[in-house]
């Protein structure tokens, strides 16, 4: 299932190479909405993976953007403790206010949380490292 959200780009980070087969890049969008006469501000951190890491390049901090994304999650167990991670995986970014017929073509969303048939390889390192 895909989602869309519009907000202001407030942070974009460099691409991180996790392994020789997996890279990712994160960015943060400020989402402001009004409810019951009050204004609420949220901050959502999205990730871009593999060949989509460059999608954020044309945008500058403070630009209004529309992000199309999927939600993916993982379960991680260690020493009897279970932790869950949720990722907002962006697959299209466009200027806010652009109608769908004006939007540049982009790759389709990921299906079932799989990155075009690739899954990141397991991390190697100290036992207490998180799985990402």
- Span 59-102, pLDDT tens digits: 999 999 999 999 999 999 999 999 999 999 999 999 998 665 55
**Residue 108 forms part of a structural domain:** no
Query: Which residues have a Cβ under 8 Å from the Cβ of 57 and sit 6 or more positions away?
Result: none
Distance CA 41, CA 35 (A): 11
Q: How far is CA 101 from CA 51, 90, 105, in A?
A: 24, 20, 9
Structural domain boundaries, residue 85: 2-102
**Residue 113 forms part of a structural domain:** no
Would you say the pTM of this structure is higher than 0.85? no
Q: How far is CA 70 from CA 3, 4, 17, 51, in A?
A: 6, 9, 21, 16
Q: What is the pLDDT of residue 2?
A: 87
**Residue 129 forms part of a structural domain:** no
Reference 41, options 33, 51, 49, 53; nearest CA is 33
**Residue 28 forms part of a structural domain:** yes
CATH number at residue 83: 2.40.50.140
**Residue 34 forms part of a structural domain:** yes
Is 23 in contact with 15 (CB distance < 8 Å)? yes
Q: How many folded domains does the chain comprise?
A: 1
Q: In the structure, what pLDDT confidence band is assigned to residue 125 with cuts at 50, 70 and 90? A: very low
Q: What is the pLDDT of residue 87?
A: 94
pLDDT above 70 for 43: yes
**Residue 114 forms part of a structural domain:** no
Query: Which residues have a Cβ under 8 Å from the Cβ of 74 and sit 6 or more positions away?
Result: 84, 85, 87, 131, 132
**Residue 14 forms part of a structural domain:** yes
Say how far residue 105 (Cα) sits from the centre of its chain. 18
């Amino acid at each position: 299932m895909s989602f869309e959200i519009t907000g202001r780009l407030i942070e974009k980070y460099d691409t991180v190479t996790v392994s020789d087969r997996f890279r990712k890049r994160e960015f943060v969008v400020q989402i402001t909405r009004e409810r019951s006469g009050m204004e609420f501000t949220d901050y959502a951190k999205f990730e871009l993976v593999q060949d989509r890491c460059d999608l954020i390049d044309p945008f500058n901090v403070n630009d209004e953007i529309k992000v199309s994304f999927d939600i993916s999650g993982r379960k991680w167990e260690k020493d009897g403790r279970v932790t869950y991670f949720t990722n907002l995986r962006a697959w299209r970014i466009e200027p806010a206010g652009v109608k769908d017929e004006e939007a540049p073509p982009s790759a389709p969303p990921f299906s079932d949380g799989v990155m075009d048939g690739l899954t990141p390889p397991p991390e190697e390192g100290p036992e207490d490292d998180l799985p990402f």
